[in-house]
Amino acid sequence: MGWILSQLSPSEILEQDQKIHKYSETQMMMKVTERSFFKCEDS
């Protein structure tokens, strides 16, 4: 992974970082939504 970063310009690194951040936020939101959905189903 480190060697890839050295070939990217700072702006490209920032762009990739934002994509990864957005992706992990989306994953977290989906898990939270899933959990609250199952809680509703249980009660």
Residue 2 pLDDT greater than 80, yes or no? no
pTM of the model: 0.53
d(CA 36, CA 16): 30
Tell me: the pLDDT tens digits for 5-33?
Answer: 578 788 998 999 999 999 999 999 999 99
Residue 1 pLDDT greater than 60, yes or no? no
Q: How high is the pLDDT of residue 43?
A: 63
Contact 31, 24 (CB under 8 A): no
Residue 37 pLDDT greater than 90, yes or no? no
Read off the tokens for 27.
Answer: 């994953």
